[in-house]
Amino acid sequence: MSLRVLFLILLIPTLAVCPALCQDEQEPSNASAEGATTGCVIPNVPGLKWADGMCTFIGSLNACLNFIGEKTTYQYLMGVSGVAFATRFFRDWSESSADAALNDDHPKAAMEAVGYSYTWATSGQPGPIIESIDRGAPAVGANLSGHGDWGIIAGYERSGETWLTRTYYDRSSAHSIADKTPYAVLVIGRKGKVPTTAENVRKSIKLAVEFGKGERKLDAKYAVGFEAYTAWIDALRSKRCQELTGKELEKVAYINAWLYNSLIDARHAGVAHLSWAAKTLQGEARAHCERAAALYQEQIDILSGARSYVRYPQTIKDGPKWSAEMRAYQIEALRQALEKDKAAVASLEKVLADDAEEE
């Protein structure tokens, strides 16, 4: 994640895949004004727009799936991948805490839900990326603009030495040229069997419980699930945080605000997903699912109520950028949010129990 306010809302892309415009050594590239090259660019790949707190990995993946004809939504992918219910906190402050692709747990769940195979590639091994572009399917790449965020690879030049992209930093409708080498690229494969709605609902609720409780572990430097709240609160109370000054204070305050807004965005997606999922359930299972959605909404209300105390430092013109009083309000909001999270997960566990009894 980058250290700045992200406002990420995806443009609704066309559902028909346009053929890629590929060039051989004798033809000039249509993606660049430079000379003869071996390259290919997929026309009409949509741009990406910002909305504060949105997950750049899921946003970029959704845009790619939409482009190849899948009618997914950001909220749906956040739900079936479990991102909507996860909480992560790097114990010494890092914006990467909000990255849904820290490991393969969330990407794997998202791709299984839509029935697509996928592979991971790097620019050092560009073959799968080039093959995907050549067949008209954009790929999801990290660090395309040098900020660590995820975006879309829509073309290449010089056999992959240059990548043509869509990022959250684009200022025009033209393709950007990647500023940095993508360190990870998800290449969408072929479509296979798609799970039933009932299967995806059950799995997403199971994932919500696992990620909510922190049963899916990351590197030890990251606290996950319920523990992430307590680690975050401890960091806010720490002596180090109290002694921060100048640019370092502004940097940590920025990360803190970004993670806070990312948590709110994730839970908004969670409420939307569970509200939809509840309609597919019956009896007590539906009631428990609706109760979980209501609890997550209460959590959102608590976190949003303290938002004026969790601000990006560059938005504060007068007064302290990050005071002890501001941190105290956030600590109390996180404490209350944790209790709502525990209650919501308990309700989702009842959904799984009821569903199992019916089977």
Residue 137 has pLDDT above 80, yes or no: yes
> Where are the chain's structural domains?
8-191, 197-358
- The tokens describing 39, both together, are 């390259």
With beta carbons less than 8 A apart as the criterion, state whether 31 and 14 touch. no
Give the per-residue pLDDT at 12: 29
Who has greater pLDDT, 50 or 228? 228
Q: Which helix (H) or strand (E) holds 30?
A: none
**Helix extents (H) in 45-104:** 56-67, 74-81
Query: Mean pLDDT across the stretch 290-301?
Result: 98
Give the per-residue pLDDT at 278: 98
Query: Mean pLDDT across the stretch 304-330?
Result: 95
* Range 8-191 classified under CATH 3.90.70.10: yes
Confidence of residue 170 (pLDDT cuts 50, 70, 90): confident
User: How far apart, in whole angstroms, are the C-alpha atoms of residue 85 and residue 103?
Assistant: 16
Sort residue 231 into left (φ over 0), alpha (ψ -120 to 50) or beta: alpha
Confidence of residue 181 (pLDDT cuts 50, 70, 90): confident
Query: Mean pLDDT across the stretch 215-230?
Result: 96
Query: Mean pLDDT across the stretch 51-68?
Result: 96
Class of domain 197-358: mainly alpha
- Ordered DSSP codes for 118-172: EEEEBTTB-HHHHHHHHTT--EEEESTTSSS-EEEEEEEEGGGTEEEEE-TT--S
> 173-182, 199-208, 307-316 — which is least confidently predicted?
173-182
Confidence of residue 94 (pLDDT cuts 50, 70, 90): very high
Residue 145 has pLDDT above 70, yes or no: yes
